[in-house]
Amino acid sequence: MTYRGRFAPSPTGPLHVGSLVSALASWLDARAHRGVWLVRIEDVDGPRTVPGAAEDILATLERFGMHADETPVWQSQRVARYQRALEQLKSTGLVYPCGCTRKEIADSLVLAHARNTTLAYPGTCRTGLHGKPARAWRLRVPDGERAVITFDDRWQGPQTQNLATEVGDFVLRRADHQWAYQLAVVVDDADAGITHIVRGADLMDSTARQIYLQRCLGVATPAYLHVPVVTNEHGEKLSKQNGASALDTDKPLDALGAAARHLGLELGSEPPATLEQFYSAATAAWAQRMNIRTSA
């Protein structure tokens, strides 16, 4: 099997300290496996996309010496493909239109919370729209034992999520006509033949949904590895929203060194003088940490 990995940033701002960690981890894992590393611009969420951010991220990756092995894919150019995937799911009866507004769902969740029952989408529109106009498309999750999805995360260990009680039927196409991240990411990873996904642990909660969606679409499930997220002094994930500082792109070695330290990689006592020295030491340290055999 040829290893195929990827880094899939959302262009909501420049690459920051947290997203550099995900980029670096996915790059090192691909190098340690002597595999292919791809970049996908996740600009499917039009309203959140910041003009120029994707170009900025791509330029920073180049400057930091992480070169994609194939031309980057842009989700905004793949909407016809997402539509086809939705049609495929419609033909199997696995999706249904939902007329619930955010407020209606929030109210029912508050009620559920008060009763100490499930916080998942209650499945109101499973049996029909009850006279309401269709807003979003949802994927029906299984009931009972089949709702339990397990996977073995290469960093975090065994994971379990019950889709019925913890998530509920989830949205594939939103009321604002935007394609949901869950559908786009599964279709794109499958079409690109991705074998290994390495990304931040904030996405761990989405993984069971994505595995279930892969099964519904009849595509393979890749291996998963979720690296710890970088947090600020309040323990919050660094994001553009809470003022994550952009990287000092004039000092790639300093930023990469900090990202490697966050990943717990020991690079030796001599600080690397060049990007090539850095990547060679970091790849060896990653391979050792993740137990990857690098000899041919």
Under rule CB under 6 A, residue 10 binds ligand GLU: yes
Q: Would you state the structure tokens that stand for residue 272, as one six-digit string?
A: 């690397």
User: Annotated binding residue at 251?
Assistant: no
Stretch that binds ligand GLU, among 6-14, 56-64, 246-254, 268-276 (CB under 6 A): 6-14
Under rule CB under 6 A, residue 223 binds ligand GLU: no
DSSP codes joined into one string, 86-142: HHHHHHTT-EEEE---HHHHHHHHHHHHHTT---SB--GGGG--TTPPP-EEEEPPP
Comparing CB distances to ligand GLU, the nearer of 175 and 203 is 203
Comparing CB distances to ligand GLU, the nearer of 42 and 169 is 42
Comparing CB distances to ligand GLU, the nearer of 225 and 281 is 225
User: Annotated binding residue at 87?
Assistant: no
Q: Would you state the structure tokens that stand for residue 98, as one six-digit string?
A: 């939902």
Q: What interhelical angle do 275-289 and 17-32 show, nearest 10?
A: 70
Q: Which of 23, 185, 213, 247 binds ligand GLU (CB under 6 A)?
A: 185
User: Annotated binding residue at 55?
Assistant: no
Q: Are 148 and 160 in contact (CB under 8 A)?
A: yes
CA dist 289 to 26, 93, 202, 280, 286, Å? 14, 44, 21, 14, 5
Under rule CB under 6 A, residue 9 binds ligand GLU: yes
Total residues contacting ligand GLU by CB under 6 A comes to 7
Q: How many helices (H) and strands (E) in the chain? A: 8, 10
Under rule CB under 6 A, residue 42 binds ligand GLU: yes
Instruction: Tell me the backbone φ, ψ of residue 255, rounded to 5 degrees.
Output: -65, -40
Comparing CB distances to ligand GLU, the nearer of 8 and 282 is 8
Stretch that binds ligand GLU, among 3-11, 58-66, 252-260, 286-294 (CB under 6 A): 3-11
Q: What interhelical angle do 181-191 and 204-217 show, nearest 10?
A: 60
Show contacts with ligand GLU in window 201-220 (CB under 6 A): 203
Can you list the alpha helix ranges (DSSP code H) found in the chain?
17-32, 53-63, 79-91, 102-114, 181-191, 204-217, 252-262, 275-289
User: Annotated binding residue at 199?
Assistant: yes
Q: Which of 3, 5, 8, 190 binds ligand GLU (CB under 6 A)?
A: 8
Residue 202 CB, shortest distance to ligand GLU, in Å, is: 7
Q: Would you state the structure tokens that stand for residue 81, as one six-digit string?
A: 């493909």
Annotated binding site: 6-10, 42, 98, 100, 121, 125, 181, 199, 240
Which residues here bind ligand GLU, judged by CB under 6 A?
8-10, 42, 185, 199, 203
